[in-house]
C-alpha cells in the first residue's frame, strides 16, 4: 500500500529514461506540447511515485493515501505515463491519447475521470490552494496523510500561490510539501526576467516555509532534502533547480520545446540518447495527430 521498498537510484534512472522516451514518443504521435516542461520534472515525478508517495494503485481512493497534485497541469503528458507505469491503469489505455473523446490530453481531468488524479489542473495557481485544503482536511479529521504539490516557476507568477503560502504558514500546516520545478523558463521568456522571481527559495523562506534548494535531477539530493525537512513543523518548499528539456541534448534549456513537437527523426535520436531499444520506438508509420 505504499512505497514500501524504495527503488535504487539506478532503477529510478532506468524508469526515468523510459518515461521520458514514452512522453516524447507520445508528443510526436499526438501533437501534445510542453515537452520541455515535462522533461524538467520527470525525475521528480519518478522519485515521488516510486519512493515517496504512499499509494495503492488498485485502490486509488484509499482514504489514507498521500495526495499528489501536479499543479503545473501542462506536464500531464508525463504524469499520465507515470500513472500507467505505476499501475493505476494499463499502458494500453494510453493508445487513444489525444484522439477525439480520449480522457488523455494536455491536462489532468478530474479524479472522477481518471484513477490516480487528485485535482484537475491546467489553470495555474490552483493546485497549491486545493492541496492546502486537503492538508487542512487531514488535520481536522485526524488523518495522517501527506500532501505534495509540484509547481512550475512560471506558475509562481500567480497571486493565489502566495495567498496559499501565507495561509499555510499561518496555519502551521505540517503535512504539506511543495516542489518548485525551477527550470528558469516560462512560456515566452526567462522566468526571472518576466516577473522577477529570484531569489525564489528565499521568498518561500520569508513566507514562513521550511525551505531547501537542490539539484532537481539528483535523486540523492531529493531524498536528503525531504528527509532533512521531514521533522520541521512548518509547511515545506523544496526548490528544484532543473533544466527544461532535461535528458535530451537537442532540447535542453531550449525554450522552443515549450511548444515544439518532435519529428519522427528526432524521436529516434531521443531513443538513442535514452538507450531505448529500437523495437520500442514503434512509431508504426502512424500519422501524427496535428492540432490547429
| Chain residues in the site for another protein (CB under 8 A) | 63, 67, 110-112, 118-120, 123, 125-126, 128-138, 140-141, 159-160, 163-164, 166-167, 170-171
Q: Which is nearer to another protein, 136 or 187 (CB)?
A: 136
C-alpha distances out from residue 72 to 19, 20, 25, 127, 291, Å: 18, 17, 21, 8, 21
Tell me 131's DSSP state: H
Q: Which is nearer to another protein, 126 or 244 (CB)?
A: 126
Count of residues for the chain? 292
Q: Which is nearer to another protein, 3 or 167 (CB)?
A: 167
Q: Which is nearer to another protein, 67 or 184 (CB)?
A: 67
Query: In what helix (H) or strand (E) does residue 224 lie, and over which residues does it extend?
Result: helix 219-229
Q: Which is nearer to another protein, 99 or 143 (CB)?
A: 143
CB of 181 to another protein, least distance (A): 20
Cα gap 54→30, rounded to integer Å:
31
285: phi > 0 → left, psi -120 to 50 → alpha, else beta; which?
Answer: left
CB of 212 to another protein, least distance (A): 24
Cα gap 98→241, rounded to integer Å:
31
Q: Which is nearer to another protein, 208 or 228 (CB)?
A: 208
Q: Which is nearer to another protein, 170 or 290 (CB)?
A: 170
CB of 170 to another protein, least distance (A): 7
CB of 148 to another protein, least distance (A): 13
CA proximity to 223, closest of 240, 204, 208, 209: 240
The half-sphere exposure of 231 on its side-chain side, counting CA atoms within 13 A, is: 2
CB of 58 to another protein, least distance (A): 21
Report whether 257 contacts 35 (CB < 8 A): yes
CB of 80 to another protein, least distance (A): 19
CB crowding 151-173: b at 16 or more within 10 Å, else e: bbbbbbbbeebbebbebbbeeeb
Q: For residue 220, which phi and psi values (nearest 5 degrees)?
A: -65, -45
Cα gap 136→159, rounded to integer Å:
20
Q: Which is nearer to another protein, 98 or 131 (CB)?
A: 131
CB of 111 to another protein, least distance (A): 7
CB of 34 to another protein, least distance (A): 19
CA proximity to 280, closest of 10, 25, 91: 25
Cα gap 87→2, rounded to integer Å:
13
Amino acid at each position: 500500500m505504499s512505497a514500501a521498498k524504495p527503488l535504487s537510484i539506478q532503477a529510478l534512472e532506468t524508469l526515468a529514461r523510459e518515461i521520458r522516451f514514452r512522453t516524447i514518443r507520445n508528443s510526436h504521435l499526438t501533437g501534445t506540447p510542453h515537452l520541455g516542461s515535462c522533461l524538467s520534472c520527470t525525475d521528480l515525478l519518478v522519485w515521488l511515485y516510486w519512493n515517496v508517495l504512499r499509494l495503492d494503485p488498485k485502490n486509488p481512493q484509499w482514504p489514507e493515501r498521500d495526495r499528489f497534485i501536479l499543479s503545473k497541469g501542462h506536464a500531464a503528458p508525463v504524469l499520465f505515463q507515470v500513472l500507467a507505469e505505476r499501475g493505476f491503469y494499463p499502458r494500453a489505455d494510453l493508445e487513444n491519447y489525444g484522439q477525439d473523446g480520449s480522457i488523455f490530453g494536455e491536462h489532468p481531468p478530474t479524479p472522477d475521470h481518471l484513477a490516480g488524479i487528485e485535482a484537475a489542473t491546467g489553470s495555474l495557481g490552483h493546485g497549491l490552494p486545493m492541496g492546502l485544503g486537503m492538508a487542512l482536511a487531514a488535520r481536522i479529521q485526524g488523518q495522517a496523510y501527506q500532501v505534495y504539490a509540484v509547481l512550475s516557476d512560471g506558475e509562481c507568477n500567480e497571486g493565489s500561490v502566495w495567498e496559499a503560502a501565507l495561509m499555510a504558514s499561518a496555519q502551521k500546516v505540517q503535512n504539506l510539501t511543495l516542489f518548485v520545478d525551477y527550470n528558469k523558463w516560462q512560456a515566452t521568456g526567462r522566468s526571472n526576467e518576466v516577473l522577477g522571481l529570484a531569489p525564489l527559495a528565499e521568498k518561500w523562506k520569508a513566507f514562513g516555509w521550511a525551505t531547501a534548494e537542490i539539484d532537481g535531477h539528483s535523486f540523492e539530493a531529493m531524498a536528503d532534502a525531504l528527509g532533512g525537512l521531514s521533522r520541521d513543523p512548518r509547511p515545506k518548499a523544496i526548490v528544484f533547480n532543473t533544466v527544461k528539456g532535461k535528458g535530451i541534448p537537442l532540447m535542453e534549456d531550449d525554450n522552443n520545446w515549450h511548444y515544439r513537437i518532435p519529428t519522427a527523426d528526432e524521436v529516434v535520436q531521443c531513443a538513442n540518447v535514452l538507450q531505448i531499444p529500437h523495437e520500442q520506438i514503434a512509431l508504426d508509420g502512424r500519422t501524427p495527430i496535428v492540432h490547429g
